[in-house]
Amino acid sequence: MIRFKSLLSLLSVFIVSAVLLAPADTAYAADLETNKQVIQGSWCCSPTQDLYQRFDFSPNGTFMWLSYVPSHQDKHRWSPSFTTPWQYSFQSPTKINAGNNGIILIETLTPDNFRFKWISYGVEHSYACTRTRPPGDTDDSRMQNRAAISNQKKLFLGKWETADQKEYVEFLSEDTCIKGTLEAGRWQTTKYKFEVYHDGKDAMCGESCLFSRKSPNKIVLDCGMGGSPIIYHRARSSNK
């Protein structure tokens, strides 16, 4: 009997020690369906490199990744990282396949807190997120930003082409753009996300290069790095 009581005492000590030593910020449901429900909605993550990130998970198995970037008059807006939503799927209660090659490893997932590691191509980043928006991110500010960005984008809308008519870029009203290159007599086109920067002075279409507006009928693509700028004029068929 004494030996049995000693074993019980040791077991109690072991359980208490395990609880005390467990990471305080590790919490998530053990069942898959609960985590599928809890993760839905918007998560705003602490700044990485002075930039807030946001992850929006939809019930239909898609998500968007956005960054809180400067927009106009010292304000900020949410800029999506890709044109169309990416797919996500739970492989276990704590592992999610995201996009083409991303993996999300959940460390904490409660209705108010979401901590995880994002792994892609062997590179790992940690995120700490809550339901709380960054300072200045209100419904009113979002509405004002949308209106301001819409007005800035109007100045770029339409089709622009180079003097030799072998390259063009077309900015569309649904926040996308198309870049075309004439190769061997055939047009090769790619669709990208359309963004504006620097109070509407510059636009981006897919790559990290900027189209700078020089006049109502002239924009210049400059990628820096010692390359030569490419001049585009508004296409004759474009009445924008």
pLDDT at 84: 76
Both 123 and 35 in one domain: the answer is: yes
Percent of the residues in the chain that have a pLDDT greater than 90, as a whole number: 58
Q: Residue 57: inside a domain, yes or no?
A: yes
pLDDT at 13: 38
Q: What is the pLDDT of residues 207-222, one digit of tens each?
A: 778 999 999 999 999 8
Residue 12, pLDDT above cutoff 80: no
Domain boundary among 130, 163, 194: 130
Both 216 and 161 in one domain: the answer is: yes
pLDDT at 238: 56
Q: For residue 175, give the CATH number of its domain.
A: 2.40.128.50
Domain boundary among 130, 147, 179: 130
Q: Residue 142: inside a domain, yes or no?
A: no
pTM value is 0.64
Point out the least confidently predicted range of 15-19, 61-65, 132-136, 152-156.
Answer: 15-19
Residue 80, pLDDT above cutoff 90: no
Domains held by the chain: number = 2
CA distance 193 to 160: 16
What is the span of the domain harbouring residue 47? 24-130
Q: Using the structure block, give the residue that is written with the tokens 């996009």.
A: 99
Which residue would you say has higher pLDDT here, 71 or 93?
93
pLDDT band of residue 25 (cuts 50, 70, 90) is low
Q: Residue 111: inside a domain, yes or no?
A: yes
Q: For residue 87, give the CATH number of its domain.
A: 2.40.128.20
Point out the least confidently predicted range of 1-10, 12-21, 101-110, 170-179.
Answer: 12-21
Q: What is the pLDDT of residues 136-192, one digit of tens each?
A: 899 998 888 888 889 999 999 999 999 999 999 999 988 899 999 999 999 999 999
Both 49 and 124 in one domain: the answer is: yes
Q: Residue 198: inside a domain, yes or no?
A: yes
Q: Structure tokens of 192?
A: 């990208």
